């Protein structure tokens, strides 16, 4: 790769528009504003990454002339390009493509921009046999088409790009995988090459080290290694999760904690069926607006039923079972409700994206004068839950009313948005405002958490809904005797148990804190003579509420210690003749090693103390 130090300026912003460097400097208007865009700026890094995708596509075409070009955008932390090739790319192919890219980078070939008519662009791409490009051009209408060229390589692109290929100093191709054209499984499967690029080799090296740590913590690998869950693709189908005993134990602990905390915070628990008549989903609007993500109706006694994709209509039906008074509000109902949504096979990803999952759902019904306190209570509960699971870095995004296509009055939108903003500011969380990004039925606030690798995850959401109370004609009797609409809040803290469990696995690298560990302690007798004492120790631990196992296998002690360590069990209690005689245990901690002998009662108290503090 080219190590030569280059100027960091790659483009220019003129009157708010980012342009190629030559054009930008030439077109600076008299009295106009101009700002240099450098590689250290997010906009400059995006330009570098998109330009590198062109360099990669050029290298692929040189090595595989019959490859057809699809699309190649920049993405977070890198770029990709999709190709139509006869044979999937191998790891050896990626090495060859990288070497060819290095040659292109060393040539320092300029990027040039050209505007042509639609017909000229079609003719050029048609002559090259690039039928994916002609499909894209045909969708652009009669507008001018922008092409970018470096050397003999020309691509359809809006730009801007780096001045020349020499700016691509530190890059790496990461993987090749299948991807359907335009993300539709009905289209042809293409080959997608992912890569990354940074302004300096140090930044690239740091990122590659980060990727290695991410790979080690991948919840799919750890889920298998630690025997937590599986997805039975062939026998049961993709996107459907089987919780194994250890994973199910962790899920139980999460659910028990979740329920207990909700009861402490004034919630009531309810349950709704997994299926309902199709009419319910037509009333809610899901059938009209969400049908492509819902499973086909099933015929039951001549009527159509649907697997529920949401829990909210069920909660509304419970609300409507009797007349509600202003004295009844607020109502806070929570449900660990399993829902089913169709996701294309190409987007399924371990526990992060599945077809059946359990939401930690809740719906609150209140008066407008109660809205401030209810929102604040929801946010505080969410922060308490996250902190209990070991997260401490939060930020919020407040999404406001769209400019078009929204329900409810502007007055109600303004009141609800002000309540969200006030609650966030009083709690003291940093936040940004996403103007016009709310869904059509009401404003919302999302909490993003940062994990141990610095990755950002959006889990929590609280959404004000003016739509469903209207659709279902929800009312309460006000103090004046009039019938009023309640304000409805949709709220999820963890988002879904499956996704949150995946985040926890990767956050802790599978080494769960004591209070969440499926096995907290394993007893390892030195020899068969101590089997009875090992079982006595286990029985005492279990009686005290400790999740303990005894490994009585006829294997070397060192091997059993190594396997317990690999299973990320926090404490190993080694018992031999001396421990049995003294009624003690030799304590080994997974990361600290031998901690010496302790009386069993003292050790149990240590475990209980750690669990009580959620350590």
Domain layout of the chain by residue ranges:
9-216, 229-272+311-508, 521-612
Pairing of strands 112-116, 584-589: unpaired
Supply the mean pLDDT for the chain: 94
Confidence of residue 418 (pLDDT cuts 50, 70, 90): very high
Region 92-98: mean pLDDT is 98
Active-site pick, 444, 547, 560, 568 = 444
Give the model confidence (pLDDT) of 453-496 as tens digits: 999 999 999 999 999 999 999 999 999 999 999 999 999 999 99
User: What share of the chain in percent tops pLDDT 70?
Assistant: 97
CB 215 within 8 A of CB 100: no
444 has a pLDDT exceeding 80: yes
The H-assigned helical ranges of 265-350 are 278-284, 286-289, 312-319
Residue whose C-alpha is closest to residue 180's, from 348, 402, 313 = 348
- Dump strand ranges (E) for 466-544: 476-477, 483-484, 487-492, 521-525
- The answer to whether 157 is a known catalytic residue is no
Active-site pick, 49, 262, 355, 363 = 363
User: 9-216: which CATH number, 3.40.50.300, 3.20.20.370, 3.40.718.10, 3.30.980.10?
Assistant: 3.30.980.10
Active-site pick, 20, 361, 465, 551 = 361
Residue whose C-alpha is closest to residue 310's, from 288, 289, 339 = 339
- The answer to whether 459 is a known catalytic residue is no
The pLDDT score that the predictor gives to residue 32 is 54
Residues 6+ apart with CB under 8 A from 220: 350, 351
Residue 201 corresponds to which tokens in the numbers above?
């080799």
Confidence of residue 354 (pLDDT cuts 50, 70, 90): very high
Confidence of residue 19 (pLDDT cuts 50, 70, 90): very high
Give the model confidence (pLDDT) of 514-532 as tens digits: 999 999 999 999 999 999 9
167 has a pLDDT exceeding 80: yes
31 has a pLDDT exceeding 60: no
Count CA within 13 A, CB hemisphere, residue 264: 10
Active-site pick, 191, 359, 463, 520 = 359
- The answer to whether 531 is a known catalytic residue is no
Query: What residue has token string 């769960």?
Result: 512
- The answer to whether 412 is a known catalytic residue is no
CATH 2.40.340.10 fits 521-612, yes or no: no
Active-site pick, 133, 246, 262, 341 = 341
Give whole-number Cα distances, 244 to 225, 252, 257, 522, in Å: 12, 12, 20, 19
Give the model confidence (pLDDT) of 228-262 as tens digits: 999 999 999 999 999 999 999 999 999 999 999 99
- For residues 571, 576, 579, 581, the Cα torsion angle rounded to the nearest 10 degrees is 160
The pLDDT score that the predictor gives to residue 22 is 64
Give the model confidence (pLDDT) of 367-377 as tens digits: 999 999 999 99
Beta partners for residue 276, in sequence order: 306
The class level of CATH for 229-272+311-508 reads: alpha beta
The pLDDT score that the predictor gives to residue 29 is 45
CB 238 within 8 A of CB 343: no
400/421 Cα distance (integer angstroms): 10
23 has a pLDDT exceeding 80: no
- The answer to whether 359 is a known catalytic residue is yes
180/230 Cα distance (integer angstroms): 25
- The answer to whether 490 is a known catalytic residue is yes
Active-site pick, 62, 490, 491, 547 = 490
Region 311-321: mean pLDDT is 97
Region 577-602: mean pLDDT is 95
Higher pLDDT, 439 or 119: 119
Active-site pick, 312, 412, 459, 520 = 312
Confidence of residue 497 (pLDDT cuts 50, 70, 90): very high
Could you tell me what percentage of the chain is helix, strand and coil, using 3-state DSSP and rounding each to the nearest 5? 40, 30, 35
85/190 Cα distance (integer angstroms): 7
CB 102 within 8 A of CB 1: yes
């Amino acid at each position: 790769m080219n190590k030569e130090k280059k100027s960091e300026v790659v483009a220019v912003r003129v009157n708010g528009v980012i342009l190629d460097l030559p054009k930008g400097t030439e077109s600076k208007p008299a009295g106009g504003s101009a700002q240099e865009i450098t590689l250290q700026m997010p906009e400059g890094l995006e330009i570098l990454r998109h330009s590198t995708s062109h360099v990669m596509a050029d290298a692929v075409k040189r090595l595989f002339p019959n490859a057809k070009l699809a699309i190649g955008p920049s993405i977070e932390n890198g770029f990709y390009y999709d190709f139509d090739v006869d044979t999937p790319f191998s790891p050896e192919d990626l090495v060859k493509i990288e070497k060819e890219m290095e040659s292109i980078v060393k040539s320092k070939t300029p990027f040039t921009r050209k505007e042509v008519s639609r017909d000229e662009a079609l003719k050029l791409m048609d002559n090259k046999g690039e039928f994916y490009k002609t499909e894209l051009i045909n969708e652009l209408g009669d507008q001018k088409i922008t092409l970018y060229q470096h050397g003999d390589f020309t691509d359809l692109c809006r730009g801007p790009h780096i001045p020349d290929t020499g700016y691509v100093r530190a890059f790496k191709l990461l993987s090749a995988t299948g991807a359907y054209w335009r993300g539709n499984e009905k289209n042809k499967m293409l080959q997608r090459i992912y890569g990354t690029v940074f302004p300096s080799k140090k930044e690239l090296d740091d990122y590659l080290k980060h990727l290695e740590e991410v790979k080690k913590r991948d919840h799919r690998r750890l889920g298998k290694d630690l025997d937590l869950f599986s997805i039975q693709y062939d026998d049961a189908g993709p996107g459907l999760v089987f919780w194994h005993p250890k994973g199910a134990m962790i899920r139980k602990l999460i659910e028990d904690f979740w329920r207990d905390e909700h009861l402490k915070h004034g919630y009531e628990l309810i349950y709704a069926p997994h299926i309902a008549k199709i009419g319910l989903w037509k009333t809610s609007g899901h059938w009209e607006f969400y049908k492509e993500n819902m499973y086909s109706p099933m015929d039951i006694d001549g009527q159509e039923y649907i697997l529920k994709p949401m829990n909210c209509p069920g909660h509304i039906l419970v609300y409507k079972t009797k007349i509600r008074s202003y004295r009844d509000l607020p109502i806070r109902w929570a449900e660990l409700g399993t829902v089913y949504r169709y996701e294309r096979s190409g987007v399924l990803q371990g526990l992060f994206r599945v077809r059946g999952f359990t939401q930690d759902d809740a719906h609150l019904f209140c008066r407008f004068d109660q809205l401030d306190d209810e929102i604040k209570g929801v946010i505080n509960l969410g922060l308490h839950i996250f902190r209990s699971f070991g997260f401490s870095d939060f930020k919020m995004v407040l999404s406001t009313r769209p400019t078009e296509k929204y329900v409810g009055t502007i007055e109600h939108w303004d009141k609800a948005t002000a309540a969200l903003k006030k609650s966030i500011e009083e709690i003291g969380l940093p936040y940004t405002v996403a103007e016009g990004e709310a869904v059509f039925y009401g404003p919302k606030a999302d909490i993003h958490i940062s994990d141990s690798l610095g990755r950002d995850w959006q889990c929590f959401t609280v959404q004000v809904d003016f739509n469903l109370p209207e659709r279902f004609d929800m009312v309460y009797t006000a103090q004046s005797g009039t019938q009023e609409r309640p304000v409805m809040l949709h709220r999820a803290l963890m988002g879904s148990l499956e996704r949150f469990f995946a985040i926890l696995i990767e956050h802790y690298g599978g080494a769960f804190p004591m209070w969440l560990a499926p096995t907290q302690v394993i007893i390892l007798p030195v020899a068969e003579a101590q089997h009875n004492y090992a079982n006595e120790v286990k029985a005492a631990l279990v009686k005290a509420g400790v999740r303990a196992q005894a490994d009585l296998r006829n294997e070397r002690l060192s091997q059993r210690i190594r396997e317990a360590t690999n299973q990320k069990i926090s404490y190993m209690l080694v018992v031999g003749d001396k421990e049995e005689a003294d009624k003690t245990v030799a304590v080994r901690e997974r990361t600290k090693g031998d901690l010496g002998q302790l009386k069993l009662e003292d050790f149990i108290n240590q475990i209980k103390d750690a669990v009580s503090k959620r350590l």
